[in-house]
Amino acid sequence: MLSFYLSLVDETNEQDMLVQIYNKYKNLMFSVANQILNDTYLAEDAVHNAFIKLSHNLHKIEDVDDYKTKGYVATIARNCAKNVYVKQHKIKEVEYDDAFSFKQNQIQSNHFTQEDEISEKIKLLPQMYFEVLVYKYYYKHSGKEIATILGVSEGVVYKRLERAKQKLEVLVNGQNQTD
């Protein structure tokens, strides 16, 4: 009975948004998942899981065509693919081997700012640290929101953020930090 009353609630807009995201980003999401899984059926599973996660977080998406949305769906697809991979292979989270893959950027300019240097080092971080930085500093999500997306407790999120900064500090300034 309660579900009947709940069905009175109108969420057509969110449903439309989900359909739009599917039509616009399914190729991207599938490609991201398939890069990790190298198996079309498993990649489909990952994309499906990603949409279930997205359906929970639609309120965070303002514009389907926005660049941020593109990144958001790609990371969720990647995260879900990773989970499928872990489940399939029954492995623990791999650290450096699991880093987001970046093509090597050759430094073209002599004007290499601190921002550029940190940006290059961030790319070297393990996936779990890179993603918390992205959710925190790019998407400006709260600890609670990140915890929901990643399916971990809020405490784990803060711990990862702290470790991400520590690792980055070492990558940027070296082990023996001296002024």
Partner 1 sequence: MGKIKLTDELLEKATKKSFENWIDQTAQCEKEFSPSESFEKEMNHFLKNRNKFSYKISHFKPRRSIIVIAAIFLLMLSSLSVGAVRDEVTEIFKSTGIIQQKSPVKKKKPKKKKEKVTNNGYYYQNTTSKPTTTKAQKTISVEYELDIDDLGYTRITENISPQKIFISYQSYDQSIIINFTQSVNEIEKPQIEGEYQTINEQQYYICHSPEDSRLRIYWQIGEYYFKLSGNISQETAFSYIALLKERVPQETTTIEPEQTTTSPFEYNYCLNLADYGYTESSYTVNEYSTSTVYTSAEGNILNFSQENITSIEGRVDETVYTKSVETVDSIEFTIYQLTENSAETIIFWQQNGYQFSIYSDGEKEQLIQYAKTCIAR
Question: Could you say whether residue 67 binds partner 1 (CB under 8 A)?
Answer: yes
Q: State which of positions 82-101 bind partner 1 (CB under 8 A).
A: 83, 86-87, 90-93, 100-101
Structure tokens at 157: 């999120």
Q: Which residue of 38, 88, 107, 117 would you call a contact of partner 1, by CB under 8 A?
A: 117
Closest separation in Å from C-beta 120 to partner 1: 8
Q: State which of positions 33-52 bind partner 1 (CB under 8 A).
A: 34-35, 40-41, 44, 47-49, 51-52
Question: Could you say whether residue 102 binds partner 1 (CB under 8 A)?
Answer: yes
Distances 113 to 22, 118, 160, 178 between C-alpha atoms, Å: 38, 9, 26, 20
Structure tokens at 24: 């616009």
- How far is Cα 134 from Cα 2, in angstroms, rounded to an integer? 39
Question: Could you say whether residue 155 binds partner 1 (CB under 8 A)?
Answer: yes
Q: Specify whether the CB–CB gap between 129 and 160 falls below 8 A.
A: yes
- How far is Cα 169 from Cα 83, in angstroms, rounded to an integer? 28
Q: Under rule CB under 8 A, how many of the chain's residues touch partner 1?
A: 86
Q: State which of positions 133-152 bind partner 1 (CB under 8 A).
A: 133-134, 136-138, 144-145, 147-148, 151-152
Q: Which of 95, 172, 160 is nearest to 133 (CA)?
A: 160
Q: State which of positions 4-23 bind partner 1 (CB under 8 A).
A: 5-12, 14-15, 18-19, 22
